[in-house]
Amino acid sequence: MEQQQLNTLQRAQKRKQQRERQVILLTQISILVGGIGLWELAARLAWIDPLLFSMPSKIALLFWEKWNDGSLWIHMSVTLYETIAGFLLGTLFGVMIATMLWWSPFLSRVLDPYLVIFNAMPKVALGPMIIVAFGPTQTSIIAMGILICVIITTLVVYAGFKEVDVNKLKVIQTFGGNKLQLYTQVVLPATVPIIISALKVNVGLAWVGVIVGEFLVSKEGLGYLIIYGFQVFQFTLVMLSMIIIAIFATIMYQLIYILEKYVVKNNK
Amino acid sequence: MMSFVTIENISHVYIKQATTLLALEEINLAIQQGEFISFLGPSGCGKSTLLSIISGLLKPTFGSVKLEGERVVKPSKHIGHMFQQDFLLPWKTIEENSWLGHKIMGTLDASIKEEVHQLLAAMGLGDVYKKYPHELSGGMRQRVALVRTIAVKPKLVLLDEAFSALDVVTKLQLENMTQHILEKHQMTSILVTHDFQEAIAMSDRVVLLHHNPGRIRKIFEVPIELRRLDPVDARNHYMFTELSQEIWEALNRDGTATA
């Protein structure tokens, strides 16, 4: 076949794929716009109770109002800070505990049943204990974020450590490498993709921990806004907070997704 | 005269929960400096166990291995090990993989890096320093593994089925390259393989192992005419055919032929 023909075929294929992508994106946008429109319409025509479900125009108005008086920004940054701290520290502590377990097989065998029990337990149930321990402060809220993701990170990352190819470890050993070198040269880098997927899971979990923590103690933050809106029966505020949480959670997830693509490229 | 490598009364028992398995029984062998020895035997005859013991990765149940009169009890920089697969670290570039040994031993510096670059170039890997292992073919990766082993200048090189996973052409090329580089650096080598033609083509002596338990069955001297030739050319020599025949019959008598 002529080169020109091949090029034409390739261009046609590319156009087809591009069209498909456009159709999908267009459908997604239609669902969003249509959904919001339907919500507004349903609330205005009282198909649904506007007091309970609010309506998009009211939410947008409230957003504008709260944004301009600066209060929304404070609540947003407080919660964002707590969540980022919670999931980064939770992942870090999880990797550290997993490292200890890998380092000492004795410790890992001893702690195994305790980890299983602790993992099975609903961590938010420990909320009151944490508040007693750390006081009604931001530390308590971050501790909730950490607590909720640390054990699952430990288990997943430790399983990843154990699955590292023994032959790669053998290569290091034949050069007389010690345990620390096994860890830094092979075990940890081989587990980076697993740690990143743990980060992805932890983003979601840390939001749960932080919002529950704010329900319990805080005086500011998006969780506080939700509980406050609920108490004064202002569901527009509840909805606004939820939408902001959804947007932030998505952004954080996407950032980790980008990090993953960048880091995992040469790890296969 | 003291031998370069002495394998004395090595026996090894694997103890599992339900069974104990005698993998090796009373292996004795003296290897001279610069010699190329092959251990030949079917899979499961304890070849790789023996190699792990010689490298110091595995402690034998009985007996000892000495390198230049000193007992081997743990992996040492004087003993290089090459495996059936390359086991390159996927997150390190080719050059980083190649000088991994020096990095582990804390001897990596600019002059070592230069040396490793030269070794890579000599192996036809001059333009892939900065690439990652997944970008290379299987044969190229195994060459990188060879450079990684040679770069720390071991006195003894252990080749554990190092050519077995490659296609025929790549395998022959790599056999040639390996022999040249080992001779150039005057390294003593032990190859473990189930391929008797490979064993003949590369070695000075071929040690035939019995299996279950692994014992030395017979040692064949490879004629000097064959030793002088490249592994590829050796295969075309009439003496190669004769020795092949002899070893083939021995393998069949033993009931352990693999072909």
Q: Report pLDDT for A136.
A: 86
ipTM: 0.85
Question: Are A175 and B89 within 8 A, CB to CB?
Answer: no
Q: Are strands B70-71 and B215-221 parallel, antiparallel or unpaired?
A: unpaired
Question: Are A167 and B83 within 8 A, CB to CB?
Answer: yes
Query: What span, in angstroms and rounded, lies between the C-alpha atoms of B86 and B19?
Result: 32
CB of B85 within 8 Å of any CB in chain A?
yes
Which member of B76, B87, B134 has the closest CB to residue A176? B76
Residue (of A97, A102, A101, A100) closest to A149 by Cα position: A97
Q: Report pLDDT for A1.
A: 67
CA distance B195 to chain A (A): 22
Query: What span, in angstroms and rounded, lies between the C-alpha atoms of B181 and B170?
Result: 16
For residue A207, give the 3-state DSSP assignment.
helix
Q: Report pLDDT for B116.
A: 93
Cβ neighbours of B57 in A, within 8 Å: 170, 173-174
User: Which range, A125-134, A214-223, B110-119, B224-233, is most confident?
Assistant: B110-119
Residue with tokens 């072909």: B259
Residue (of A1, A26, A24) closest to A10 by Cα position: A1
pLDDT at A184 over 70: yes
**DSSP code, position B134:** G
- ω into residue B213 within 30 of 0, thus cis? yes
For residue B125, give the 3-state DSSP assignment.
coil
A194 confidence band (pLDDT: 50, 70, 90): very high
AA identity, residue B94: I
> Are the beta carbons of B232 and B64 closer than 8 angstroms?
no
CB of B73 within 8 Å of any CB in chain A?
no
Q: Where are the alpha helices (DSSP H) in B2-99?
A: 47-55, 94-98
What whole-number percentage of chain A has pLDDT above 90?
A: 71
Scanning every residue of chain B, which has its alpha carbon at the shortest distance from the alpha carbon of A167?
A: B87
Which residues are bridge partners to B29 per DSSP?
B7
For residue B36, give the 3-state DSSP assignment.
strand
> Read out DSSP for B202-252?
H-SEEEEEETTTBEEEEEEEPPHHHHHS-HHHHTTSHHHHHHHHHHHHHHH
Which domains are present in chain B?
A: 35-55+77-253 (3.40.50.300)
Q: Report pLDDT for B1.
A: 57
Query: What span, in angstroms and rounded, lies between the C-alpha atoms of B50 and B214?
Result: 9
Residue with tokens 């069949």: B252
> Are the beta carbons of B113 and B82 closer than 8 angstroms?
no
Residue (of B97, B102, B88) closest to B154 by Cα position: B102
CB of A181 within 8 Å of any CB in chain B?
yes
Q: Are strands B62-67 and B70-71 parallel, antiparallel or unpaired?
A: antiparallel
Question: Are A268 and B83 within 8 A, CB to CB?
Answer: no
Cβ neighbours of B75 in A, within 8 Å: 173-176
AA identity, residue A50: P
For residue A206, what are the CA distances in angstroms to A158, A214, A218, A237?
20, 12, 16, 22
Query: What span, in angstroms and rounded, lies between the C-alpha atoms of B131 and B142?
Result: 15
Q: Report pLDDT for B17.
A: 80
| Percentages of chain A per state (helix, strand, coil), in multiples of 5 | 85, 0, 15
User: Which range, A47-61, A91-105, B217-231, is most confident?
Assistant: A91-105
Residue with tokens 């609903």: A122
pLDDT at A19 over 90: yes
CB of B176 within 8 Å of any CB in chain A?
no
Q: Report pLDDT for B234.
A: 85
Q: How many CA atoms lie within 13 A of B178 on its CB side?
A: 32
Scanning every residue of chain B, which has its alpha carbon at the shortest distance from the alpha carbon of A178?
A: B104
Query: What span, in angstroms and rounded, lies between the C-alpha atoms of B192 and B213?
Result: 17
pLDDT at A68 over 70: yes
User: Which range, A37-41, A122-126, B2-6, is most confident?
Assistant: A37-41
Q: Report pLDDT for A29.
A: 96
CB of A266 within 8 Å of any CB in chain B?
yes
Extract the tokens encoding A14.
């590319």
Extract the tokens encoding A71.
């209060």
pTM (predicted TM-score): 0.84
Extract the tokens encoding A193.
């993709």
Query: What span, in angstroms and rounded, lies between the C-alpha atoms of A168 and B89?
Result: 7
Average pLDDT value for residue range A136-161? 92
> Are the beta carbons of A209 and A149 closer than 8 angstroms?
yes
> Are the beta carbons of B65 and B25 closer than 8 angstroms?
no
CA distance B132 to chain A (A): 7
Which member of B75, B87, B90 has the closest CB to residue A176? B75
A48: left (phi over 0), alpha (psi -120 to 50) or beta: beta
CB of B104 within 8 Å of any CB in chain A?
yes
> Read out DSSP for A32-101?
HHHHHHHHHHHHHTTSS-HHHH--HHHHHHHHHHHHHTTHHHHHHHHHHHHHHHHHHHHHHHHHHHHHHH
CB of B78 within 8 Å of any CB in chain A?
no
Residue-level length of chain A: 268
Mean pLDDT, chain A, rounded, equals 91
Q: Report pLDDT for B254.
A: 60
**DSSP code, position A125:** G
Which residues are bridge partners to B39 per DSSP?
B192, B207
Q: Report pLDDT for B102.
A: 94
For residue B190, give every residue at least 6 positions away whose Cβ sits within 8 Å of its Cβ, in sequence order, or none.
Answer: B5, B31, B36, B37, B38, B39, B51, B54, B156, B157, B158, B159
Query: What span, in angstroms and rounded, lies between the C-alpha atoms of A199 and A92?
Result: 10
> Are the beta carbons of B45 and B209 closer than 8 angstroms?
yes
Q: Report pLDDT for B255.
A: 57
pLDDT in tens, chain B (259 residues): 578 899 988 889 888 888 888 888 888 899 999 899 999 887 777 888 888 999 988 899 999 999 988 888 888 889 999 998 899 999 999 999 999 999 999 999 999 999 999 999 988 888 898 999 999 988 899 999 999 999 999 999 999 988 888 888 888 888 888 888 888 888 999 999 888 888 888 899 999 888 778 888 888 888 888 888 888 888 888 888 888 888 888 877 765 544 4
What whole-number percentage of chain A has pLDDT above 70?
A: 99
